[in-house]
Amino acid sequence: MIRHLFKLIWNRKKSNFLLITEIFFCFLVLFGVLSFIVYNVRNYSKPLGFKHDNVWLLTMRPPTDSTAQNRQIMEQVIQRVRTFPQVEHASFTSSNAPFAFSQMNNHFSFGNAKSIDADVYEVQDEYKDVMQLNVIKGRWFSTNDNAAGHEPIVINKAFQQHMFGSEEALGKIIQVDDTTKFQVVGVTDYFRAGSEFAAEDPAVFTRINLQKNLNYISNEMLIRVKPGTGIDFEEKMMKEIAGIGKDWALEVATLEKMRQNKAKVTLVPMIALGLVCGFLILNVALGLFGVLWYNISRRNGEIGLRRALGAPSGQIYRQFIGEVLVLATFGLLFGVLFAVQFPLLQVFQVESEVYFTALAGAVVLIYLLTTICALYPSRQAAAIHPAVALHEE
């Protein structure tokens, strides 16, 4: 049967080549779109590593460059914020707060063994309570670190895996340049501050020590408020802060709103690609259906002769389904050979499981699409009466 199908396909190689080419390009588009979707869905299913509910981001922009004056106002603002009964915790942070469109990174090395790039978050001691981080090893920053010999840092689990592998990270000295060295004092579980759809990158938390660095200025403050706190308190807080920092530009945003805005950056192109891919599949399906219908209508004589020689309708039906599946296999063979290079070459530094899952999904969808397109034309071919077919010939 298989040999007979290959012979029939070879006899119509010119027309079948177009079908194979169409299936090949349809598979490539499906593979690309599914890879993008699988990548984002896998990331979305992973924990963020922090809790963003009831957390506000206060942005403060001073009108002058007077470091001493701005520093004094900055300290007064956070002291006042922490005294509000609606506020549970507050912490200065660098500009790359969770879900912000900002990023800070640096190059870290451990001896002469290994070096990696990691996201850097400058935070105060209360940052852990504000974001409710889960420290799985060691500890978080505290006032005891004021007298530490090396600057303390807390890393996430992804940093530990990339830098140290299975080795213990606590106590290790990590170097940034020839003069700056940090000592690992803690390891957090997960931490994905970029987006719900972003992969977890190595992350490092460095300590903001206002007593040691007298010139440090932070324009961002994260505030965890009590559940149910609304716009009334926001207006009151902003009014009092405006009284402390004259002519300062102030802005408050909730991390929940920032999360939604950041998610749209991924969701919008994902939906757009899905619609384009769906439109392409519809066009391919219509094209396959039309070509199969046309080819079958031109083979009435062959069908009638086979039926006259005693071939049952089920055999005719399976023959045409088999031809389409063989054509799909040829198209997929070339497509798979091309697509498998992505996980082998680690293109875009994406996990191999993403590509293999997308590849398997694209193969299944192509076989399903071609089978559905071939069902009705094949059923019509199997229903042709031999006498009518031979009479037409």
pLDDT of 173-226, one tens digit each? 998 876 788 999 999 999 999 999 999 999 999 999 888 887 888 889 999 999
Position 47 pLDDT exceeds 90: yes
232: tokens are: 């009334």
What percentage of the chain carries pLDDT values higher than 90? 56
For residues 365 and 332, is the Cβ–Cβ distance under 8 A? no
- How big is the CA angle at 100 (ends 99 and 105), to the nearest 5 degrees? 100
Q: Specify the pTM.
A: 0.85
Alpha carbons 195 and 193: distance in angstroms, whole number: 6
Residue 342 contacts residue 35 (beta carbons within 8 Å): yes
The more confidently predicted of residues 111 and 325 is 325
Residue 278 has pLDDT above 60, yes or no: yes
Share of the chain above pLDDT 70, in %: 88
Residue 293 vs residues 52, 66, 286: alpha-carbon distances, Å: 57, 79, 10
Q: For position 108, what pLDDT does the model report?
A: 92
pLDDT band at 97 (very low <50, low <70, confident <90, very high): very high
390 pLDDT higher than 80: no
Count CB neighbours of 128 within 10 A: 23
**Is 80 exceeded by the pLDDT of residue 316?**
no
